[in-house]
Amino acid sequence: MPPRTWISDADNQSAIWVCGRAPVQRYSSGQSHFYTWAQIAGIFIFSIYAPPRLSHEEFTGLLSNIVDEARGKTPILVAGDFNAWSTEWGSRETKPRGEALLDALAPPGCPPAEHRFETDGEVIAGGVNRSTGGTTASRSCLRLRRRAQRARGRADETICREEFADARRRLHRAIKASKRLCWRQLCDEADCDVWGKPYRVVMSRLRAPRTSPPSAPELVRRAVSTLFPMIVPRPIDAPPLLEEHLIPEVGVEELRWAYGRVRIGAAPGPDGIPNIAALKAAVEACFENFRRVFTVCLRKGCFPTRWKRQRLVLMLKPGKPAMEPSSYRPLCMLDTAGKILERIIAGRLETHTEGPAGLADSQYGFRKGRSTVDAIQAVLSTARTAISGKRWHRGTKEYCAIITLDVRNAFNSARWNKILIALSQMEVPAYLLRIVSSYFLDRVLEFTTDDGSETYEVTAGVPQGSVLGPILWNVMYDRILRLKLPRSAKIVGFADDIAVTVVAKHLDLVEFYSNETIRLVRAALTDLGLQTADQKTEVLLVTSRKVRETITLRAGDHYITSAPCIRYLGVHIDARLRFDEHLRIVSDKANRGSRCPAGYYAKHRRSKEQST
């Protein structure tokens, strides 16, 4: 046969194009369906296309025909599109077609070296990639299954089928036993590590579906103007520039710590350079150059303008209307190189903000060794102490009001001059004040609509997604947490979330102290240029009385009556501190998002408690 020959099957679904000088020694008659073959330069090449429309029986029949055709031909190369899923070649899961393909192309015993099979672009030496092979039971079952399939029409077909059926029953029992064991281990691990694998498994089921960011020009522009208010910035007096030798250079370990903290998988900034390239390839290859650049930035008090660009990503809040600008959470994507410099500045600021003259102990957000759990415990401990003991003559039992206040568009409304004033009051070195001043100036927001790319001047706020933003917010917000409140009131902060506890023996005193506390907090927030969403204020009256009692407080022009349950930092707190409502809500949410039958976890727990 001459070269440059087209060899196809009967339906023209698969073909072999011979375009080189290699001789074609033998080839298919062209009567087969969905596959063809040819012997070229001593190698038997099979070309296969199994369309998705084939039923499972038709697909397995096709594989049987291919196996029969390939028997006795060696060496052999099989290439084709099987439309079969299997984790063996990178699919998310293994489907029946994938299992049938593995069974058909896996020779019994140890395959010879010349056997090579190519499926969906991946060459698998030895017929099947067994680097991640299964258990001995599953391998034995697959071997007996192949034996039963190849025994069709032979005298030992019945015996082979019975052996396979028995092996399959044993495998099913082993799988069920393994599932029970793994489930018990998962439950035990949840008792030991609440943030471990069980938590990650549950949260992976509860994630909301991803939504595309808005692109309608009018909506995006309204969202930008709403979320990033245009504030006439007050002149910022930068501290005088010190002599360079008084400003410590960026150390080797300091830079390694700074770029080691940046997440590899985080989204890139406006420059589009992935973090893996910016970190591993650039910083490690030009380490001294980066160190010198960052040192010059600190000593000149200049944050490069290019690193002040913010690429906006709008994320729709769950359950919010898509056409409302306030329904979106703005995330600002920044260049990785600038975030490394931010990390260096933040590390130096922390030596002062976490010192004796630093942040108040009642701030639990964005700080090392503190979390939402600590903030919640601080609130609950006050409430539990208040309702403990006796109520009557000389009793210690009191009422406790828990008030949560919401700050409207908090992070994007922070005034830059207020942040610099707070930094100077914490005795932060002048060179850090100077570069923070440079960090604020000339910031530009970049966003995209259906009309194309646009820019917007940023005049206030700390970027959500930045490294410096959280620590600068805490510095400015520290004034709220240090307010002189009535003696029976305490304030707890987590980022911009405020919770106030007011303890008193009589309800009229609880209302009086609570209203005074709310007034003082709102006034201090207004002085910082922030506004409270008074309609979102929540009040909970914690008491041990059987008869439900309520109080009504005033927040601005709104009157708020205490509710039987409020939500604080993701936890639903009820008036009896029993958390029945919280368990009901999270259980319903977990049952809706989980594939496991409702109540299975509780059933397992009850059986475990009875056994112990």
Q: Is residue 209 part of a domain?
A: no
Q: How do residues 560-596 score in pLDDT, each as one tens digit? A: 999 999 999 999 999 999 998 899 988 887 777 655 4
CA-wise closest residue to 105 among 126, 86, 85: 126
pLDDT reported for residue 607? 52
Backbone torsions φ then ψ of 353, nearest 5 degrees: -70, -25
- Per-residue pLDDT at 91 exceeds 80: no
Q: Are residues 363 and 387 in the same domain?
A: yes
pLDDT reported for residue 513? 96
Residue 189 CB neighbour total at 10 angstroms: 14
Q: How do residues 226-259 score in pLDDT, each as one tens digit? A: 999 988 766 666 667 667 668 999 999 999 999 8
CA distance 155 to 49: 33
Higher per-residue pLDDT: 321 or 112: 321
Q: Is residue 106 part of a domain?
A: yes
Q: Is residue 208 part of a domain?
A: no
Q: Is residue 204 part of a domain?
A: no
CA-wise closest residue to 573 among 362, 365, 383, 374: 383
Q: Is residue 1 part of a domain?
A: no
For residues 284-311, give the mean pLDDT: 93
pLDDT reported for residue 269? 87
CA distance 573 to 540: 8
Q: Are residues 520 and 472 in the same domain?
A: yes
CB 491 within 8 A of CB 362: yes
Q: Is residue 241 part of a domain?
A: yes
pLDDT reported for residue 242? 65
Q: Residue 554 has which token pair?
A: 């005033």
CA distance 24 to 466: 64
Q: How do residues 331-361 score in pLDDT, each as one tens digit? A: 999 998 999 999 999 999 999 999 888 899 9
DSSP output for 537-575: -EEEEE---SS----EEEETTEEEEPBSEEEETTEEEET
Which range is least confidently modeled, 51-60, 101-110, 439-448?
101-110
How high is the mean pLDDT of the chain? Answer: 84
Q: Residue 532 has which token pair?
A: 């409270």
Q: Are residues 13 and 138 in the same domain?
A: yes
Q: Are residues 479 and 600 in the same domain?
A: no
Exposed, middle or buried: residue 514 (CB in 10 Å: 0-12, 13-18, 19+)? buried
CB 575 within 8 A of CB 587: no
Backbone torsions φ then ψ of 115, nearest 5 degrees: -75, 120
CA distance 449 to 455: 11
Number of structural domains, the chain? Answer: 3
Among 187, 209, 240, the domain-final residue is: 187
Q: Name the percent of the chain lying above pLDDT 70.
A: 86
Q: Name the percent of the chain lying above pLDDT 90.
A: 48
Query: Is this model's pTM higher than 0.75 or not?
Result: no
Q: Is residue 103 part of a domain?
A: yes
Cβ neighbours of residue 114 closer than 8 Å, sequence gap 6 or more: 74, 75, 76
Domain that holds residue 442: 217-578
Q: Are residues 559 and 595 in the same domain?
A: no
Q: How do residues 36-65 score in pLDDT, each as one tens digit? A: 999 988 899 999 999 988 988 889 889 988
Q: Residue 601 has which token pair?
A: 């976890």
Q: Is residue 210 part of a domain?
A: no
CA-wise closest residue to 49 among 14, 94, 89: 14
**DSSP H or E run through 202:** helix 197-206
Q: In what order do the strands lie in the sheet with 328-333?
A: 328-333, 309-316, 443-449, 452-458
Q: Are residues 362 and 461 in the same domain?
A: yes
* Chain centroid to CA 574: 29
Q: Are residues 596 and 458 in the same domain?
A: no
Tell the residue number behind the tokens 């002189």, with chain if given: 484
- Measured at the alpha carbon of residue 356, what is the angle toward residues 352 and 362, in degrees to the nearest 5? 95
Q: 75: cis peptide before it, omega within 30°?
A: yes
Q: Are residues 429 and 532 in the same domain?
A: yes
Q: Are residues 262 and 134 in the same domain?
A: no
Which range is least confidently modeled, 109-113, 371-375, 481-485?
109-113
Which range is least confidently modeled, 3-7, 93-97, 264-268, 420-424?
3-7
For residues 279-296, give the mean pLDDT: 87
Q: Are residues 395 and 287 in the same domain?
A: yes
pLDDT reported for residue 236? 63
For residues 279-297, give the mean pLDDT: 88
For residues 408-414, give the mean pLDDT: 92
Strand-pair category, 122-125 with 558-561? unpaired
pLDDT reported for residue 29? 84
CA distance 33 to 10: 6
Residue 470 CB neighbour total at 10 angstroms: 17
- Per-residue pLDDT at 419 exceeds 70: yes
Q: How do residues 379-405 score in pLDDT, each as one tens digit? A: 999 999 999 877 666 667 899 999 999
Q: Residue 602 has which token pair?
A: 């509780």
- Per-residue pLDDT at 606 exceeds 60: no
Q: Are residues 291 and 410 in the same domain?
A: yes
Categorize the per-residue pLDDT at 156 as very low, low, confident or very high, splitting at 50, 70 and 90.
confident
- Per-residue pLDDT at 127 exceeds 60: no
**DSSP H or E run through 77:** strand 76-81
Which range is least confidently modeled, 89-93, 334-338, 435-439, 448-452?
89-93
Q: Are residues 564 and 583 in the same domain?
A: no
